[in-house]
Amino acid sequence: MSETTFSRDAWLLGNEALPNFETAGLPQEVIAFHREHKDQIIPAIRRGFILPGTIVPSAVPVETVGYPIEETDCFQWLGHMEKFAKDYFKAKVTLRDVFPLPARLPWKQALPIFNPGLTNREMVDKALKSRKLSVYEYTDVMKFGSGANMSCLCIIERSAKPTLATMGLPPKFAKHWFAGRQTVSLNLCNYGIGMSLRHEIEKEFLDSQTVTWFPESTLSVGFVAYGGYGPGFGGVEFGCRGSGCERGDFGFREAICLKPKT
């Protein structure tokens, strides 16, 4: 198809779609966001206009997308996590026996994070400070809730940056981004464990040049927690910003969170 024909067809499609925007039921805040950030309109259109029958990771169970778990390095890192839990949490566990692992993962490089039920303070003390890692809390981590109240296993992509598609999105839009997905946003407590595990094995921090939001970890005044590596003091930092904050180096981390087998 020539460029001229494509441009004409795209123009016709746009005109045909225009009358339907009012009845599409888009939340007002989503409309306001895209009117203010017109550079995000094209990515939104590309995410929305797909062919019928196409498998969309955000709308189907994790088991139907990505890579067979055997083709990822998840099992190797489950072993790393088990040793970490034994050394720092005094918890002896075989994760494959306790949790129902998915058959497939969206990422080839996986970072499994086992939380035996730590509070945010216990996470800081046991997962970070026990390894002599410096921690700076701009805001007391316990102000963002206690943390996990039961054991869980979360699997995220072992990447330097948060999930790329979320970079620059303010945390107040997290509920829209994760709507319909089989995944959730990684929380503060589990992030700290994952940060330390990666440093233990690879001697590298998560977010050495970026920052991860924790949209579910909030203060009553509407501020949202974040975490990352603080190059100024060479350690892990936790703080908070307003829920409408938009920065290109901030994003969420998509996580598969599993409960123990019953």
In sequence order, what DSSP letters do the residues of the chain get, joined into one string? Answer: --HHHHHHHHHHHHHHHGGGTTTS---HHHHHHHHH-GGGHHHHHHHH---TT---GGGS-GGGSSEEGGGSSHHHHHHHHHHHHHHHS-----HHHHS---SEES-SSEEEEEESS-BHHHHIIIIIGGGT--EEESS-GGGG--B-SS-EEEEEE--SSS-GGGTT--GGGHHHHSTT-S-EE--HHHHHHHHHHHHHHHS--S-SSSEEEEEEEE-TTSEEEEEEEETTTTEEEEEEEETT---TTEE--EEEEEPPP-
59: confidence class by pLDDT, cuts 50, 70, 90: very low
- Check whether 260 has a pLDDT greater than 50: yes
pLDDT at 50: 52
Length reported for the chain: 262
- What pLDDT, in 10s, does the model give residues 120-135? 999 999 999 999 999 9
CB atoms within 10 A of CB 153: 23
41-60 mean pLDDT = 53
- Paired tokens of 25: 């039921």
- Check whether 148 has a pLDDT greater than 70: no
81-94 mean pLDDT = 97
Q: What is the mean pLDDT of the chain?
A: 85
Alpha carbon distance 90, 29 (integer Å): 46
Higher pLDDT, 66 or 223: 223
- Check whether 151 has a pLDDT greater than 50: yes
Domains of the chain: which residue ranges? 60-258
217-230 mean pLDDT = 91
Q: Point out the least confidently predicted range of 75-79, 131-135, 148-152.
A: 148-152
- Check whether 76 has a pLDDT greater than 90: yes
Give me the percent of the chain exceeding a pLDDT of 90.
62
- What pLDDT, in 10s, does the model give residues 7-34? 667 666 776 677 666 666 666 667 777 7
pTM score of the predicted model: 0.77
